[in-house]
A and B are shown apart, each in its own frame.
Chain A
Amino acid sequence: MARRPSPSDYRSDVWNDWCPGCGNFGIVAAMYQALAELNADPKATVVVSGIGCSGKIPHFLSVSGVHTLHGRAIPFATGIKLANPGLNVIVNGGDGDLLGIGAGHFVALGRRNIDITVIMHDNQVYGLTKGQASPTLPRGIRTKALPMPNLQDPVNPVALAIASGYTFVARGYSSRVKHLKDLIKAAVEHRGAAFIDVLQPCVTYNDVFTYDYYDKRVYALEESGWDPDVRDESDAARKAAEAYAKAFEWGDRIPIGVFYRNAHVPSFEDRIAGRLPGYLKVPPAAEPVDSGGAPLMDADAFRKAFSKYIVEIGEG
């Protein structure tokens, strides 16, 4: 692309079948804008999603898209990124997808600190299966489709991300598109596992956490003087603890913005490169496996590599 791309360059021509007014429209709009401002190469950008209303998002983008299984977007993204660390990999998942059926993977990504951005569509319900409670719906709440109030306590996504080791943890709101766009850009530019919990009103099934509810309450952390950055490695634990506590602020005022950012933790790719000297130069996806149909390894190399298993017959 010679000219600077515009957001509409990142829109595919697939008809978007989300309910009119769904908060997901704000998220995809923020993605179009962020990708345009990042001048993202559509070939080298891969959006990986799970299953749910949120999971359809790759089809609406004109970058590569991998619409995976319920809960498994992170493992797919992990394989893609580790095979080709040159790709820009973004995961979009529902709250049920990432924190219910896929919660183990969510934690694992934090531990590894792979350079992947995870955007969670947090609508407190299972949209695509018609409105059941998701893992972020508070106890005692009865959203529209629920026959009875919710019996289970919610998990706090921001706190869980911090506890899991994500090195960039933020919250956005789908209706503050420009703010969300900036968060997405910062998350993509962060080298390490980045997580954005996006408050996303589901206009069809969630009649409690609505636009109106959030519009009255959200405020930007950066405007309140919050400093998310770990400036010195030795300060990481204290900063994480403060951000963790901040994650529980919820009620009349709901903070959005970056809670925590730590650029000092080595990414998983760097950790692998510490063991595989060629890894970042020639990643697994590009490393040759044959020479004209013959294996690269010949008898000599085999003998050298696997001498441990070879027994030469002889006397001594």
Chain B
Amino acid sequence: MTLRALDFILGGPQGGGLETSSQILTWAFARAGYGVISDREYFSNIRGRHSYVHAEVSATGLPRALRYPIHLLGAMDAETVFTHFGDLAPGSYLVYDTGEEGKVYESIPSIEPELKARLRAAFREAGLDGTLGSLVKYLSASRRVVPVGLHYASVLSEAQKEVGIAASQASRYVSAILVGAVAGLTGLGDGPVSYGLSRRFPKKELYEPNRYVAGAVASYVKSKFGAPLALEASSIGQRELLVASGNDVSAMAKIVGGLRFQSYYPITPAADESFTLEEYESLHLDGFDSEVVVLQTEDELAAINAAVGAALAGARSATATSGPGFDLMVEGLGWAGMNEVPVVVTYYQRGGPSTGQPTRGAQSDLLSSVFASHGEYPRIVIASGDHEEVFRDAIEALNYAERYQMPVIHLVDKFLANTIASIPMPDLSSIRIDRGKLVGEAAGAGGYKRFDFSSPISPRAFLGQAVMWYTGDEHDEWGHITEDPESRVKIMEKRMRKLEIADSEIPEEARASYYGPERADFLLVGWGFVKGAALAALEDLSAEGLRGAYLHVRMFSPYPSRLVSRILAGFEPDRVIDVEHNYTAQAASLLAMNTGFRIRRSVLKFTGRPMYADELARAVKSVLSGSEREVLSYGA
């Protein structure tokens, strides 16, 4: 029997090579034509704490969500098994190091006390002695888990003899053991595995020994177990795939979109985007030239204000940050609103408040994005739901900023930022670049009024093209300070009218999407990374005869009120369920504010881990049978 989709977890200590294994496998599965999504979960720590990668590989589509239970757990260390054994499905496979069988969870310092307490209870109930060995026996006897025990040290010392890797370097090859074990169990061919390895290790000195280790493990596992987790042949029908994290997709899109200046102050999970931009800061290919100034500033106050300055001078300009940094940017954003500056803030949400959960995901900054400010000014807030949306939205954000001369906040969540997904190659021919109303040097003649009242969107000249003034004080058409009451009314109306223009010009279909049958029995309403889980959960539910639909909101300012109202009108109020990653159902509040419709039921998750399709499906069933609020918590 072959699988249509496979969910697996690889775990190990942060900094121990886990990312290497997962990267190689992601490339290998994609090379073999499968769709892949892989989420990286890690502590705010550089070395030693438990991290893991949860991936889904699909033969039938490009997956956007993850599921439990899993088919396969690949453990670098005992802590991984102690942390994830509950995730294993009956009949699943556990790859572990038999050299660690004697390890006792109580003596592993990196396991948090709360997990230890849960383990104590579980081990007592199952009558286990606390060792990895006892746990593996129990899993095999009572949960039908198939142990794939390998003695990692022996595998590596064998390799030392065969390919001459130095003893001091041996631990670096544990990642290759996991690659080999996954390849063996899934029957992934030699070709794709070598491909993944060669991309990760372009240098022969590293490629050869890694290939040896992975190959030896794969053939041992295959000979012993016979590829029990083989996937059916792929029916995805792509010739090539883009395999990248949300951070990287955003960086690529910004380059396509003509970004010329990005400032940032390092913060998880936003900084990777700026690193990627810096890597591609200078591109000179035949017929294509692009240079981007990437400036690491002294703080986020400087980041936003430098980005605004660059925009005044005429550069397509952006900054990228996360919650704590955004908080510092708020005053600068208000200046941009007041002075009608096209600037983009790519906002990677993580768990808050305060430092919160720096490496975990959330969608709890929606209201802050829409409202953070003293005073009132127009802004556009876009939220992406998957990697393809990130690509489009990152470019549209730059367009909207210039077309409507206002700040644009592009919301991405950590789940998207750090999840690597395979997506189709973007269709660049459908992309437009819109710089809005520019007057250039012509502005100079006869004096240039930057805030000309004759239309809400005044023709824009850059600093250097004409003499002009800007001020954060309330100002007249020239950009000089005025406190005149009548002028105040005029310029407030001018600024705020721009949002109405944006609302009338940007098609609502681009701001909210409906997925599902024309007549469905219930409606999930969500945004951001919820999209993938919601669509996957709906598929599972429809297999059980429950016909649901999903309303995906992509723009929160200006809000697609008419379209959303129309869709909501087709449902019984009690059959509408808000789904999001926060405590207070923020998107539901905005929906109520904009449509008058109060969603009474919700499925919420704020553990910092993504929503999984299976837990969402279960929660939806509970809600449909009367529960008003379901709080999800699955995932280590």
Q: Which residues of A contact B519 (CB under 8 A)?
A: none
* CB of B10, distance to nearest CB on chain A (Å): 19
A69 within 8 Å of B (CB atoms): yes
A76 to B281, CA, bound (A): 21
Pairwise interchain contact B260-A67, C-beta atoms closer than 8 A: no
Residues of A with C-beta under 8 A to B316: 289
Among A59, A67, A105, A286, point to the contact of B314 (Cβ < 8 A): A286
A284 vs B294: C-alpha distance when bound (angstroms): 11
Alpha-carbon gap, A41 to B481, bound state (A): 24
Contacts of B472 in A (CB 8 A): 51, 67-69
Asked if A78 is at the interface of the complex by the 8 Å CB criterion, the answer is: yes
Asked if B283 contacts A66 (CB within 8 A), the reply is no
CA distance A303 to B256 in the complex (A): 12
Contact of A78 among B189, B309, B469 (CB under 8 A): B309
Contacts of B467 in A (CB 8 A): 42-43, 62-64
A59 with B469: CB separation less than 8 A: yes
Closest to B426 in A: A302
* A-contacting residues, B253-291, CB 8 Å: 255-258, 260-261, 263, 280-285, 287-291
Q: How large, as a class, is the contact surface on chain A? A: 35 or more
Contacts of A298 on B, CB cut-off 8 Å? 287-288, 428-429
B431 touching A79, Cβ below 8 Å: no
| Cα–Cα, bound, A46→B189 (Å) | 63
Within B210-265, the residues touching A (CB, 8 Å) are 238-244, 248, 252, 255-258, 260-261, 263
Q: Which residues of chain B are within 8 angstroms of A69 by Cβ–Cβ distance?
A: 305, 331-332, 335, 472
Return chain A residues, CB-CB under 8 Å to B290: 287, 296-297
**Selected interface stretch from A152-160, A194-202, A250-258, A273-281:** A273-281
The answer to whether B310 and A277 touch across the interface, beta carbons within 8 angstroms, is no
The A-contacting residues of B in range 449-507, CB under 8 angstroms, are 462-473, 479-481
Question: Given A66-B312, A79-B309: A302 and B298 within 8 A (CB)?
Answer: no
How many residues on the B side are at the interface (Cβ–Cβ under 8 A)?
89
> Do B295 and A82 have beta carbons less than 8 Å apart?
yes
Does chain B have a CB within 8 A of A305? yes
Given contacts A75-B305, A276-B281, A313-B238, contact A285 B469 (CB under 8 A): no
| Contact residues of A: prevailing secondary structure | mixed
- The answer, among B191, B261, B331, B471, for a CB contact under 8 Å with A67, is B471
Q: Are A83 and B238 in contact (CB under 8 A)?
A: no
* Distance between B263 CB and nearest chain A CB, rounded to angstroms: 7
Say yes or no: B425 contacts A285, CB within 8 Å. Answer: no
Per-residue interface assignment for chain A, residues 49 to 64, with 1 indicating a CB less than 8 Å from any chain B CB and 0 otherwise: 0010000101100111
Interface string of A260-280 (1 = CB under 8 A from B): 000000000000100111110
Which residue of chain B has its CB nearest to the CB of A111? B298
Report the Cα distance A215→B547, complex, angstroms: 86
B129 at the interface (CB under 8 A from A): no
| Interchain nearest-CB distance for A2 vs B (Å) | 16
Which of B240, B297, B332, B469 sits near A64, CB closer than 8 Å?
B469
Task: Determine the residue in chain A with the shortest Cβ distance to B30.
Answer: A311
Q: Please give, as numbers and ranges, the residues of chain A lying within 8 Å of B240 by CB-CB distance.
A: 310-313
Q: Is the CB of A294 within 8 A of B288?
A: no
A284 engages B292 (CB within 8 Å):
yes
- The residue from B291, B297, B311 contacting A279, defined by CB atoms under 8 A apart: B291
What separation, in Å, do the CA atoms of A67 and B282 have in the docked complex? Answer: 32
- The winner among B191, B281, B305, B428 for most chain A CB atoms within 10 A is B305
Q: Residues of B contacting A72 with CB < 8 Å?
A: 301-302, 305, 331-332
Kindly identify which residue among A42, A107, A278, A284 contacts B289, using a CB–CB cutoff of 8 Å: A278
**9 smallest beta-carbon distances between A and B, as pairs:** A79-B309, A289-B258, A290-B433, A79-B306, A284-B260, A75-B305, A67-B471, A83-B313, A285-B314
Q: List 16 A-B contacts (CB under 8 A).
A: A65-B468, A65-B469, A66-B312, A66-B470, A66-B471, A68-B335, A68-B472, A79-B261, A80-B463, A277-B291, A285-B464, A287-B290, A294-B432, A301-B287, A315-B189, A315-B191
B residues with a Cβ closer than 8 A to A are: 27, 30-33, 189, 191, 194-195, 238-244, 248, 252, 255-258, 260-261, 263, 280-285, 287-293, 295, 297-299, 301-317, 331-332, 335, 395, 422, 425-426, 428-429, 431-435, 444, 462-473, 479-481
Beyond A43-B444, A87-B463, A303-B425: 13 further Cβ-contacts under 8 Å?
A14-B480, A51-B472, A58-B471, A72-B301, A75-B305, A76-B308, A84-B463, A276-B291, A284-B310, A286-B314, A296-B258, A299-B425, A313-B241
